[in-house]
Amino acid sequence: MINASLKELAAQLTAKKISSVELTGMYLDRIERLNPSLNAFITLDRDRSLAQAQAADALIATGKQGPLTGIPIAQKDIFCAQGWLTTCGSKMLSNFVAPYDAHVIEQFNHAGAINLGKTNMDEFAMGSSNETSFFGQVKNPWNIATVPGGSSGGSAAAVAARLAAAATGTDTGGSIRQPAALCGISGIKPTYGTVSRYGMIAFASSLDQGGPMARSAEDCAVLLNTMSGFDPRDSTSLERDKEDYTRDLDQPLAGLKIGLPKEYFAEGLSSDVAQAVEAALAEYRKLGAQTVEVSLPNSQLAIPVYYVLAPAEASSNLSRYDGVRYGYRAPEYDDLVDMYCKTRAQGFGAEVKRRIMIGAYVLSAGYYDAYYLKAQKLRRLIAQDFAEAFQQCDVILGPTAPTTAFNLGEKSDDPVSMYLSDIYTIAVNLAGLPGMSIPCGFSPNGMPIGLQIVGGYFSEAKMLNVAHQYQLATDWHTRTPKGI
């Protein structure tokens, strides 16, 4: 049952072979047994989850269920869920119980899905290893001495360890795709504006985007059908007709043109990742696809551009955490200014403070033009590179991350080395494009390797088709960690 697809679980529920209460209870029992060693979940509420499951069973009994009715989904702890502790992995929000639902949570509630719990994450989504969480580091189920990636590491670990049928994540610079690659699962970041950011705690507003994480591309398509949609409460939400992202899954790949950026296969890419990606490309050629070399000449600028723009937006977004209205407040202070200073000093972790300071610096008088304005201009050049590349190909393929999962603590004292973990993913966010990662092999020491698929704007259905056809021909996405 734990290896069943979402479609198979829905069929089992419809046929009354299992109830939602039984299914939810099974996952909660697994979480109780395995989470102490993985730390994938921050908050659980068995009674609340089982009550949702009972309501789902009642709906199934009427025959009015949907594709996700009764299926337990883990929610990244960046999405506000009414009555649930919503911490964003930070001491600053360690006592915050959300008074309303994020749009994504509303969509799942309307679909009859079960909120299985809130997953661990890098603090305020700032990190690539899930080591910055106030609630402790998450461990990779494939090897608990290694990181699961971040910031959606809790969601990735939960899906990989079969603690949830699927999970939600958010992606600001690769935070769905990189942990998906490191944990051997599938995850997609849709076109910016496809999934509403209402109720999704903000890191960098022009980059943040929610998306699904699951075992397979097919499961991601089912989830994205529910998560996407226009929301007037989010000014960046795109007013478009609702799509069925499963519609093209079974289309053949004959004639597909795959672009291979020469910059993605250069120095810095580990040999085991390169070999797995080359093997995946050979499989695509067998499926009828053609490969062409393309160039993204400004891709090497993505990391410096990102680490100007994202901290700038973060410094603005995180100014609201002052100890006045909600969240943590320093227990002792002399006056209002002292309360602000001590609350923020005590409530934020080191990585969040680092990015707030960088952001405040690049936005300050005298530095705005030199850093922030220049970064915005370079962002446009990066987007233009992709536009020119897509004139030669349908999708772009390459590695998701330059290496497999690294050891816990290995890069904690070297922020630049940590930032380079997202070297292949960040440009996609800067351009607002959709991107996804799927498993494409394992390193000699048994760690998962991810293949990144990037498409043009609103090409999610095509990307999911490209991923699904590969997964029909391979079994990398069906592998499970030992002991799971």
According to the model, what pLDDT value does residue 331 have? 96
Among residues 19, 90, 128, 175, which one is catalytic?
175
Report the chain's C-alpha Rg in angstroms: 21
According to the model, what pLDDT value does residue 416 have? 83
Per-residue pLDDT tens listing for the chain (484 residues): 899 999 999 999 999 999 999 999 999 999 999 999 999 999 999 999 999 999 999 999 999 999 999 999 999 999 999 999 999 999 999 999 999 999 999 999 999 999 999 999 999 999 999 999 999 999 999 999 999 999 999 999 999 999 999 999 999 999 999 999 999 999 999 999 999 999 999 999 999 999 999 999 999 999 999 999 999 999 999 999 999 999 999 999 999 999 999 999 988 899 999 999 999 999 999 999 999 999 999 999 999 999 999 999 999 999 999 999 999 999 999 999 999 999 999 999 999 999 999 999 999 988 999 999 999 999 999 999 999 999 999 999 999 999 999 999 999 888 888 988 899 999 999 999 999 999 999 999 999 999 999 999 999 999 999 999 999 999 999 999 998 8
Q: Kindly report, residue by residue over 348-392, the tens digit of the pLDDT.
A: 999 999 999 999 999 998 899 999 999 999 999 999 999 999 999
According to the model, what pLDDT value does residue 158 have? 98
* 295 is annotated as an active-site residue: no
* 155 is annotated as an active-site residue: no
* 262 is annotated as an active-site residue: no
Task: Give pTM, 2 decimals.
Answer: 0.97
According to the model, what pLDDT value does residue 366 have? 87
Among residues 19, 49, 151, 152, which one is catalytic?
151
Among residues 19, 20, 49, 76, which one is catalytic?
76
Which tokens sit at 139? 């461990």
Q: Which domains does the chain have, with CATH numbers?
A: 6-254+461-478 (3.90.1300.10)
Q: Which of 430, 374, 405, 459 is nearest to 188 (CA)?
A: 459
Q: Which of 469, 5, 439 is nearest to 186 (CA)?
A: 439
According to the model, what pLDDT value does residue 324 have? 95
Give the C-alpha separation, 466 to 11, whole Å.
25
